Structure 1
């Protein structure tokens, strides 16, 4: 009997993994080590000075004690409240209230973070900004699994509340501010303040049936839960030496800047001059999203977007333009695979992860048709101010009451001196 042996050629990657396993297996003399540099990790709750959170109110949550080691990237915002909805026909209170996706952040206009009294990060139109960013960054297989995201109200189809409209959420700060997402180090010897500006309307947070009317959305409590770190004596001495030298400590992150065009003209081609920025604030990604008659309209979800028959979007950074070739999208003929590919590749380019987008092809078309333009690779010779403009081209005239949003993800660098309490932006 002849036995045939199939020759296999192991890949370089498999060889590398096998060698690492062999090294671990054979290293019998390796000593056990423990990391005791952090002695305790405790959450502390901070509340605002005011106890009422009405429309247009500014809500400040301070951390005034300076001799602390705090970790904002792992902090969270706890919000408790109640929605009062009644039936205009029967005049009875509605017990089953339907929230849109990411509803609580639609209750706030702006959210910003201040360090030693200097604003280092801010998002505008908090609900729209965080919704677009979460559609881009979330997936089903990383730490932001669907069961966890429901804690802060994230559900792409919205949420039906059967408890009479009472709600409570705990939202990680890294899902609200770019600074908390990117800067994962502790901050020493600084005053912190989280500032929230309440929106002037409640209609964007809920979705009503024909006969339903929202009476009010009441926020009962807002708590900022921040980790405090207690370090070992050795680490404390090392940090104190750094503090005494008062050297600049860099704070680098990628900011989320949202720009709004309230009413697009009824045309098939429109040019939008977005902004002029410095050399440091280079745009890395530009995301265009459109909505038709959704703002302040509780009959439609503010957390969803419309394609408006857009055929092509081109972003100009000074004289350079992105993408190099036109997209030639056709939503009526289901020809938008190139657009979906740009959306799917965002996580790989921005987060360095595998391609695992949150939305499938059909969901992308119906719920979140975002135009994600990657302009992260730019000429080093680009000097001086940077002008950003967008050209939008459609197959049909843009409908009435259409709002355009442009989310730009920029480089942003601050520095702070822990002893002299100086915070400055690098420009």
Structure 2
């Protein structure tokens, strides 16, 4: 702004005349365990804004006393409980998969724990986000509107409209309901009844001038790029009882090189109603190192000790994530004590990489985990990798391809 330009007139942005939310429902009405739920948008002459869309859920989690079969008057939900009811969630454009998350509850919990600040966490209470869990006193009845940007990297990063395309959101129900609740002694989960699933998507109404501009783009069938970071989760179901273990994660392309790697461990939490699936265990981990081919991150060892409360470097990695990933001032959601007790996640920043790493055709990703004590029995490891992803689509011919 020029402070001396006293004759400047006010300017207004009239390119968008309105944004209206439209509700889209699935083909099926059965939302039981292992069911696949498809929600399509078949009309193509639309300007839709997936990043601002939400997933609306209504239903009841029925918990009863094991002996008397009486229904419990209150239900203890885990943090982010409703997304633990789904195994996979994926987004398709013109029949081609754009983005997908596996193990939706774990993926979104890990990503939200490192991404949210306190005010965002409070707003997210409306859809069941609470790091301490939620006590439902309505007999297990729930309703929630979960922003798609809290579910998928595509919706978080790609903030533009998508033109003249068919969209489909596909949800796969989990094979168990136990991970959504924390049961008291003598309680069992009778059933989870999801009564309603709606995908609420904004339609953008544009001015005539802007509509002509977009129609010209459509006629030329010019390829349009969607650039985002996807959230790729890998699970090691049972770590060996040892103090040092190397885990070969995957082989990736140059485009989809890992930018951030987040490691979390859980001991006897999965499919165990008496434990909170949304929390993680430190398992006395001393060091975590990520290898991309022969290059490793971080450069120096952490030498942490949870027993002696020497976790400053691990917490520092966590606290710096928001500044590095979003380019904003870091406002970590968890205090150091909460981090240690509820979510000791190991965050490795691989976003800056040497030229010699970029020269090869593929990148082998592996993680080296070292602990002070033997890793306990029934300990699972989760590795969330945040990758670069580029999708290109042609709005007239409806050709979609991933650039790799």
Deviation of the 1:140 alpha carbon: 1.5
Deviation of the 1:30 alpha carbon: 1.2
Distance 1:353 1:135 in 2: 16
Match of 1:265 in 2: 240
**Structure with larger Rg:** 1
Deviation of the 1:27 alpha carbon: 3.2
Q: Which of 41, 60, 77 is 2:19 aligned to?
A: 41
Distance 1:359 1:370 in 2: 11
Structure 2, unpaired ranges of 5+: none
Match of 1:300 in 2: 275
Match of 1:170 in 2: 145
Distance 2:173 2:310 in 1: 40
Distance 2:352 2:198 in 1: 40
Deviation per residue, 1:202-249 (Å, 9 max, x gap): 000000001111101110000000000111110000000001111110
Deviation per residue, 1:150-185 (Å, 9 max, x gap): 111000000000011100010000000100000000
Match of 1:197 in 2: 172
How is 1:96-115 mapped onto 2 (pairs within 5 angstroms)? 96-115=74-93
Deviation of the 1:126 alpha carbon: 0.2
Distance 2:141 2:176 in 1: 18
**Is 2:121–2:130's contact at 8 Å kept on the other side of the alignment?**
no
Distance 2:188 2:32 in 1: 19
2:109 matches 1:131: yes
TM-score, normalized by length of structure 2?
A: 0.98
Distance 1:237 1:137 in 2: 38
**Is 2:283–2:371's contact at 8 Å kept on the other side of the alignment?**
yes
Deviation of the 1:409 alpha carbon: 0.4
Deviation of the 1:78 alpha carbon: 0.3
Structure 1, unpaired ranges of 5+: 1-19
How is 1:18-417 mapped onto 2 (pairs within 5 angstroms)? 23-24=2-3, 26-141=4-119, 144-146=120-122, 148-381=123-356, 382=358, 383-417=360-394
2:392 matches 1:425: no
Distance 1:113 1:355 in 2: 30
Deviation of the 1:390 alpha carbon: 0.4
TM-score, normalized by length of structure 1?
A: 0.93
Q: How many aligned positions are there?
A: 402
Deviation of the 1:355 alpha carbon: 1.8
Structure 1 residues 61 and 115: CA distance shift in structure 2, 3 A: same
Runs of 4 or more, structure 1, over 6 Å off, are none
Deviation of the 1:380 alpha carbon: 2.7
